[in-house]
């Protein structure tokens, strides 16, 4: 604790001294002189440059699970496999690999920010987590001239083993993600382009979860340093690289031409080797896997997926209506180390998008995409101050991992029908002086639902109907200076019915709560938030994880008991320097805890420190 506070004091002093100027010097550059946009904004002619975020709100939530409002389950540590609790539908209607447990740690084209800076902009973020869980993110961007910007972002994730580490530097996760980007607008010709290259190298030592002793005591799962694990030599290595390019040319305001190019290559490697026999006669290799199709003393798996797409289209603004029509050609290829299920396949798409804005009162959007030979995606959205409604319908092809697989422990060859999905979401926004009520409902139906059963075999079931109802309920108790308490609650109750109801696993009750005091200290110069961040959910048979294929599967052996995990936090900002201290899971009892995934205990009680520092000159 003394080290943490000393580091905060030193960095705070540095942040304050960096802003000291004499009478003849004026600070010109800062957050107000730096803006950004995204490709989606440019593609849909929104042209809405946004200022960078300088709020301390939610600053304590910086891990991927926290930033997703805890709507993903992981394996209890930074950088481990992820699975959406509420079964987020996939976005593509064509073929995908299905290996997506780690791809959210890579930079995605839709999330990349393209800046317009009046001075070089550097952003440094450091997460110093208890148990040697760390994130370092360094971003740089600058304008070469008023029409051309270049930049990059590098993110490093490292995490020690939470279960049975051999020493203080025994890593479980080592991951590096990189993106380099540029945005250019011609000074005289109405032409612009955006381009980026991103890559990820992510290595995870798979532990298989905690292993109880023969008496199967619950406390055996929460021994942490002294725990027994199910795997010793297993590791997953995920590598990806992506080239993405967009450009457009405006013939008239009503008519523009555009082209998008995207090339993606993903490589997934899994290896494990027979090791020692653990306590109780448990073999840390042969006792974990069920079948051995090639070798009984080693496993070496590799899959490679690549896709290349070209999209050309027209777009423009007709009064209050924006339109876009396009044609896309996409090729995909998929192979395993010892098996190539099919040669490169080609997919052809036709699609369109439209948006109508009415006096900034509300906006309506609609989109459609058709895959020649079968498959489509339809969507619509209405957004206003009072009401948000969205609808989507998809008929998409089953990912490769469900159709064909051959490895040391599994083999299947299936001819599954496309999956059909309908989803309707609605939210009412009722804002009053001291409180907000935002009830919402989400209704989702699936036909030909695909999943992995308890034997880790892919199955295509019948229909499933998922209904979630709840909302946000927030209360503010403020004084005349707008300082005071904020009580924020998000609650969702879910019911699953239909033929696949036994295979869709979602907790009946899911809750997020954030209770904090917000104000200013030191003569109103330092914004501060002090409070508790809590999460709770009811008991349910959550999906288990099979590391050899990087897939979550249905299980009926271990019910994840209901729990409430709470974090105590302090967020502060001194000019362009942000920091937070968080006592993660401070309410954890002795020799107990909670599960995120069967056999994987959640993060134990630790103290975390987060730092963000922005430089503009």
CA-based angle 448:500:455, to the nearest 5? 95
Nearest to 418 by CA among 394, 452, 401, 393: 394
H or E stretch covering 43: helix 39-43
Look over the chain and give the mean of its residue pLDDT values, rounded to a whole number. 92
Contact 151/123 with Cβ under 8 angstroms? no
Query: What letter would DSSP give residue 16?
Result: H
What residues does each domain of the chain span? 2-615
Q: What tens digit of pLDDT does each residue of 273-325 get? A: 987 777 677 888 999 999 999 998 999 999 999 999 999 999 999 988 999 99
pLDDT exceeds 90 at position 502: no
pLDDT the model gives residue 303: 95
Q: What is the dihedral of CA 76, 79, 81, 83, to 10 degrees?
A: 80
Contact 176/152 with Cβ under 8 angstroms? no
State the pLDDT confidence band at 90, using cuts at 50, 70 and 90: confident
> CATH fold of 2-615, please?
Maltoporin; Chain A (2.40.170)
pLDDT the model gives residue 150: 97
Q: What tens digit of pLDDT does each residue of 400-459 get? A: 999 999 999 999 999 999 999 999 999 999 999 899 999 999 999 999 999 999 999 999
């Amino acid at each position: 604790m003394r080290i943490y506070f000393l580091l905060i004091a030193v960095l705070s002093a540095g942040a304050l001294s960096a802003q000291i100027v004499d009478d003849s010097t004026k600070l010109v550059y800062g957050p107000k002189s730096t803006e950004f946009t995204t490709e989606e904004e440019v593609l849909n002619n929104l042209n809405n440059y946004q200022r960078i975020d300088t709020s301390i709100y939610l600053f304590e939530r910086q891990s991927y699970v926290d930033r997703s409002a805890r709507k993903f389950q992981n394996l209890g540590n930074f950088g481990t496999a992820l699975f959406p609790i509420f079964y987020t539908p996939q976005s593509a209607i064509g073929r995908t690999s299905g290996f997506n447990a780690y791809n959210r740690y890579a930079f995605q084209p839709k999330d990349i920010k393209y800046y317009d800076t009046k001075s070089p902009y550097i952003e440094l973020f450091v997460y110093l987590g208890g148990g040697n869980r760390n994130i370092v993110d360094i971003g740089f961007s600058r304008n070469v001239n008023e029409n051309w910007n270049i930049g990059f972002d590098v993110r490093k994730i490292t995490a020690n083993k939470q279960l049975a580490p051999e020493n203080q530097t025994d890593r479980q996760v080592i991951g590096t993600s990189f993106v380099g980007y540029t945005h250019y607008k011609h000074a005289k010709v109405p032409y612009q382009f955006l381009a980026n290259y991103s890559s990820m190298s992510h290595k995870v030592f798979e532990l298989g979860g905690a292993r109880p002793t023969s008496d199967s005591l619950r406390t055996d799962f929460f021994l942490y340093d002294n725990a027994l694990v199910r795997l010793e030599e297993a590791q997953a290595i995920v590598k990806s690289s992506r080239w993405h390019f967009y450009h457009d040319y405006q013939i008239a305001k009503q008519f523009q031409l555009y082209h998008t190019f995207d090339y993606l290559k993903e490589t997934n490697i899994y290896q494990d080797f027979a090791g020692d026999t653990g306590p109780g006669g448990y073999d840390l290799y042969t006792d974990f896997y069920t079948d051995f199709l090639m070798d009984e003393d080693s496993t070496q798996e590799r899959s490679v997926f690549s896709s290349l797409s070209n999209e050309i289209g027209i777009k423009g603004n007709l009064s209050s209506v924006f339109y876009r029509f396009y044609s896309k050609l996409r090729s995909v290829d998929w192979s395993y180390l010892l098996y190539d299920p099919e040669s490169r396949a080609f997919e052809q798409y036709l699609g369109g998008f439209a948006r109508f804005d009415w006096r900034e009162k509300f906006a309506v959007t609609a989109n459609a995409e058709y895959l020649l030979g079968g498959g489509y995606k339809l969507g619509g959205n209405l957004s206003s101050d009072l009401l948000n409604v969205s609808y989507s319908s998809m008929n998409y092809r089953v990912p490769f991992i469900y159709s064909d697989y051959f490895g040391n422990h599994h083999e299947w060859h299936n001819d599954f029908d496309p999956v059909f999905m309908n989803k309707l979401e609605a939210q009412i926004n009722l804002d009053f002086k001291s409180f907000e009520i935002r009830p919402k409902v989400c209704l989702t139906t699936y036909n030909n639902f695909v999943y992995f059963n308890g034997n880790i075999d892919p199955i295509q079931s019948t229909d499933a109907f998922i209904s979630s109802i709840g909302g946000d309920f927030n209360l503010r108790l403020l004084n005349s200076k707008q300082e005071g308490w904020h009580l924020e609650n998000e609650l969702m109750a879910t019911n699953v019915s239909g033929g696949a109801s036994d295979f869709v696993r979602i907790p009946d009750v899911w809750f997020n709560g954030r209770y904090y005091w917000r104000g200013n200290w030191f003569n109103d110069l330092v914004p501060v938030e002090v409070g508790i961040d809590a999460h709770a959910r009811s008991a349910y048979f959550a999906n288990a994880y099979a590391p050899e294929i990087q897939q979550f599967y249905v299980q009926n052996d271990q019910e994840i008991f209901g729990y409430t995990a709470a974090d105590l936090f302090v967020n502060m900002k001194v000019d362009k320097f942000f920091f937070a201290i968080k006592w993660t899971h401070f309410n954890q009892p002795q020799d107990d805890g909670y599960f995120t995934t069967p056999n994987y205990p959640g993060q134990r009680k630790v103290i975390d420190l987060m730092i963000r520092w922005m430089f503009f000159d």
